[in-house]
Amino acid sequence: MTLELPFQRIPVIGERFWTMSLLFSMQALRALVMCLDFSVIKTYQGNTEKDAWDVRGRVTTKGTKQLAFRKGAAVFIVNERPNSPNFGIDGTSTISSTDSTCLYDVLPQYAVDTACNVCFEVEDVERAFRFLGKQGCVFLVPPTEVCDDKGLVTYSVVKSIVGNVHHTLIDKTKYDGCFLPGFQEVGNLMNDGIPTDKNTESCPISHFDHITYACPRLFTPKVVSWYERNFGFHRFFIESNEDVDEGYVVNQDGIGLRLTAMEYLKASETGTHLMFSDKKEPDCKFVIAESLPEHGSNQIETFLEQHRGPGIQHVGLYTEDIVSSAQTMAQAGVHFFCPPPAYYTGVAKQKEIEGAGHEPQVLSRNGILLDTDLRQTDLTCQATDTQSKRYLLQVFTKPIFREDTFFLELIERRGASGFGEGNIRALWKSVQVYMETERVVTQAENP
């Protein structure tokens, strides 16, 4: 059976984008801006420099604000959260909670700060709408056109089956302006303490590497099949001997995690598989995380509780230089998870880090994890020592919202396309330690 692929491309680095729409408060907005070291572009050059923007904003007819931040090809759209006091660029906005003119998205009514939209660029919004409609998908916004003197954008919003996550499907090939209609240069956005003129080279994030969902137990197969049937995603194995049905299970040392990964291969239609290519192909990857039973309180269950349902747990941002990016973010006040102290002191890990050309002390100071990916799935080449050494470096921020929900990850891939088991364990343990500490502090504050 051939599956109709209604999408020309999902994320394509450089010229196309894959956006996230986040809904949150001013406090969390500050956290995001600090985290990612956005700079505000003060002059809008129009067509000639249509990519020359980092922060853009618009105000809907009812006064709701939307801000768009870009780092490389990664675009975050921040929607003002209704009924949130003191929110707004200037902190004085009066907010309508029922604003249906929130373009490129719906304005989600959600109880807590949340990242709830992943936008896919599609070839033909109308065709995608018809195809997905026949597949039984529920649309929140039917195909809708918006335009200004720079052209026309068509978009539509479809619900996913993962909690409050929805997908904006967008075609902006007929649009020549900067970002999207209605978005303007944002003036003194960060006029109270957040620097506006940063050297962005110090935080060279180029695109979204993956998005991880936190889901309830046994929900994963439904999610995978939904994305396979509707969006043409394919399973990929985090580990070569991973069980198709079980996924990648980490079930020891108090860790009880099931991970299942899928991707949309930009080149899948032509059969070109770019696995282990050193080119930074921005294939869209989703990871679904669920916890195993009998593991007590853990980060996935905490997410589900505090977020009030499944959703986006974290976003992996690809960086060319993880050390520089992490240092820049730390200087801006971002808090990262620290792996257990023993992580860097083992002789084997030290050798592994040095073998990859890094200094253990530097990685340790910045909480950066390193894993070697030993998979050899490219059957056309023999595994030699150098070919088999593919590295993955990762560092995770603490949750950026008030609740212990959404966080960001920096990832630098040196040929490794999957996720390192050592890193997954270290992340799990550091989050557990953080949650335990938080619980003790909270209990001490509210006995």
**In terms of CB distance, is 239 or 409 closer to Fe ion?**
409
Q: Least Å distance between CB 394 and Fe ion? A: 7
Residues of this chain, 208-227, that bind Fe ion according to CB under 5 A: 212
Select the residue interacting with Fe ion from 108, 316, 399, 420 (CB under 5 A). Answer: 316
Q: Least Å distance between CB 371 and ligand ENO? A: 9
How many distinct helices (H) and strands (E) make up the chain?
9, 18
**In terms of CB distance, is 178 or 214 closer to Fe ion?**
214
Closest CA to 410 of 25, 72, 115: 72
Q: In what order do the strands lie in the sheet with 65-71?
A: 139-148, 151-159, 166-171, 114-121, 18-24, 74-80, 65-71, 55-59, 184-185
Residues that bind ligand ENO (CB under 6 A): 212, 259, 287, 289, 299, 316, 394, 409, 419, 423-424, 427-428
Beta strands in 149-198 (DSSP E): 151-159, 166-171, 184-185
Q: Least Å distance between CB 376 and ligand ENO? A: 20
Q: 396 vs 56, 72, 98, 171, 270, CA distance in Å?
A: 27, 19, 35, 32, 35
**In terms of CB distance, is 84 or 430 closer to ligand ENO?**
430
* The entry of Fe ion, ligand ENO, none that residue 34 binds, CB within 5 to 8 Å by partner kind: none
* The entry of ligand ENO, Fe ion, none that residue 428 binds, CB within 5 to 8 Å by partner kind: ligand ENO
Q: Least Å distance between CB 341 and ligand ENO? A: 20
* The entry of ligand ENO, Fe ion, none that residue 262 binds, CB within 5 to 8 Å by partner kind: none
* The entry of ligand ENO, Fe ion, none that residue 110 binds, CB within 5 to 8 Å by partner kind: none
Give the helix ranges, DSSP H, for 86-210: 125-134
Structure tokens at 276: 């282990």
Decide: 363 and 353 in contact? Cβ < 8 Å. yes
Classify residue 33 by its DSSP letter.
H
Site track 405-444 with Fe ion (rule: CB under 5 A), x = hit: ----x-----------------------------------
**In terms of CB distance, is 179 or 419 closer to Fe ion?**
419
Crossing angle (nearest 10°) for helices 26-36 and 322-331: 140
Of all residues in this chain, which one has the CB nearest to ligand ENO in the complex? 289
Q: 99 vs 60, 64, 79, 91, 118, CA distance in Å?
A: 8, 7, 11, 19, 20
Q: Least Å distance between CB 427 and Fe ion? A: 8
Q: Least Å distance between CB 409 and Fe ion? A: 5
Helix, coil or strand: residue 56: strand
Q: Least Å distance between CB 428 and ligand ENO? A: 6
Q: Least Å distance between CB 61 and ligand ENO? A: 39
Closest CA to 35 of 319, 325, 278: 325
| Contact partners, residue 313, CB within 8 Å, separation at least 6 | 212, 213, 214, 289, 300, 303, 405, 406, 407
Q: Which long-range contacts (CB under 8 A, 24 or more apart) does 188-195 make?
A: 189/40, 189/55, 189/57, 189/67, 189/89, 190/33, 190/40, 194/30, 194/33, 194/34, 195/39
**In terms of CB distance, is 19 or 212 closer to ligand ENO?**
212
Decide: 374 and 436 in contact? Cβ < 8 Å. no
**In terms of CB distance, is 186 or 288 closer to Fe ion?**
288
Q: Least Å distance between CB 314 and ligand ENO? A: 6
* The entry of Fe ion, ligand ENO, none that residue 427 binds, CB within 5 to 8 Å by partner kind: ligand ENO
**In terms of CB distance, is 132 or 223 closer to ligand ENO?**
223
Residue 263 found at the interface with Fe ion (CB under 5 A): no
Positions touching Fe ion (CB under 5 A) are 212, 316, 409
